Amino acid sequence: MSRIGKHPVVVPQGVTVQVAGQDITAKGPKGQLAMTLVDDLIAKLDGGKVSVTPREKSRRSRSMWGMQRTLVSNMVVGVSKGFSLSLEINGVGYRAALQGKNLVLQLGFSHEIVYPVPEGIEIKVEKPTALTISGADRQKVGQVAADIRGYRGPEPYKGKGIKYTTETILRKEGKKK
């Protein structure tokens, strides 16, 4: 039995959730998100709580139960509060700037990297070396942060590159003579 799946998702004030068969839609101040549950599960809306239960006791339905409940929870939290990730840029001459709907990164290459900001994602550049990515869809926020980090990941010798602010880089000692 799933320990996560058996807890219902509480819908906060200002968020409306609609369940129509396998389709779940959440609408709130941060936007609107929708998802489709797998066929092995049933979702019910009871008095401000969404509960996800398996149709039968098959192995697949039990394994999908907790994940699908977490996806519903992420939808509800996303449209009410939103998600954000912070990135830090380290390195001499490494910086970021926002030009219209594009993020321009200078990361020590011979050219600038122009990253178009996807729909539903907001990027703030607090300092030229600090970014905050926010949005309602948790998966999209994480994917955008991973894409930006992928342009120049942190290296272990000098720590140059783009890293999450919560990430710690294991440093290595350089060559010795």
Reply yes or no on whether the pLDDT at 139 is more than 70. yes
Let me know whether 52 and 93 are in one domain.
Answer: no
Let me know whether 54 and 99 are in one domain.
Answer: no
Count other C-beta atoms under 10 Å from residue 7's C-beta: 14
- Structural domain including 72 reads 9-80
> Where a domain ends, among 80, 108, 135?
80
Count other C-beta atoms under 10 Å from residue 141's C-beta: 22
Let me know whether 73 and 87 are in one domain.
Answer: no
Which pTM does this prediction carry? 0.87
CATH number at residue 118: 3.90.930.12
**Closest by alpha carbon to 123, among 102, 107, 93?**
102
**Structure letter (DSSP) for residue 22:** T
For the stretch 87-130, pLDDT in tens is 999 999 999 999 999 999 999 999 999 999 999 899 999 999 99
